[in-house]
Amino acid sequence: MIKGVIFDVDGTLLDSMPAWKDASLRYLASLHVEGEKDLSEKLERMSIEEGAAYVKERYKLEQSPEEIAAGTVKIVEDFYVHEAKLKPGVRDLLEKIEEQKIPMVIATSSIREHVEAALKRLGVFSHFRQVFTCSEVGMGKRQPEIYERAGGYLQANPEEICVFEDALHAVATAKKAGFYTVAVYDAANGKDWTEITSLADYSVRSLSELYPFIREKMSKGKNHEKNYPGKPEYS
């Protein structure tokens, strides 16, 4: 039986992947520079700092890599604060899980302030007990640490915790670490969907498809009345 839930944000709760994909193009446009059509694909596996260095060199910008990175992050921040929308079915799903008294936390690769701003604006932040970020943990989602930290906070074993993710590498990491994985379709990861569904314990194209899963795997819970710690400390 599921005793806790870990949610990814981008591509799972929020329809926000295009913001990251197009951020560098939007930054260049703000400088009246036209970016190459496949720039997003070239930057996809780079960090923000690596991408900024590439953009400076490729487009011969006078701005430093640090300035380019900061400008790109500001564009993404504005998107979270003002534009990001919930994916269809998110609000109902969170309410149904909360009705079962299952504690929920967030594990995200994004910047804490961006995620919290978007979820607060959209009125769903109160559903979550805690937020864990890769930058604060010190490792990305190709390593299991962020899931293990979140699992420790939830005070349950990995097999009793459901991880919702949309990206192949994240599903693979959580699955290998022993968590029950639910894959959520997002167009940004559509090319990997067949592989994702073969790997995940459960997969859905729409979050509304999860209602039978909730009835089957999540029972209203006496087991969840625990005292959860406050903001986690990172070493």
> What pLDDT is attached to residue 203?
96
Q: Give the mean pLDDT of 2-22.
A: 91
> What pLDDT is attached to residue 40?
84
Q: Confirm if 171 and 195 have CB atoms less than 8 A apart.
A: no
Q: Can you give the residue ranges of every domain in the chain?
A: 4-16+85-224, 17-82
Confidence of residue 50 (pLDDT cuts 50, 70, 90): confident
Q: Confirm if 145 and 176 have CB atoms less than 8 A apart.
A: no
Tens-digit pLDDT profile for residues 69-116: 999 989 999 999 999 999 999 999 999 999 999 999 999 988 899 999
Lowest mean pLDDT among 28-32, 43-47, 150-154: 43-47
Structure token pair of residue 209:
């498809």
Q: What is the mean pLDDT of the chain?
A: 90
pTM value is 0.84
Superfamily assignment of 4-16+85-224 in CATH? HAD superfamily/HAD-like (3.40.50.1000)
Tens-digit pLDDT profile for residues 177-232: 999 999 999 998 899 999 999 999 999 999 989 988 888 888 655 444 566 665 44
% the chain with pLDDT above 70: 92
d(C-alpha 193, C-alpha 166), whole Å: 9
> What pLDDT is attached to residue 223?
47
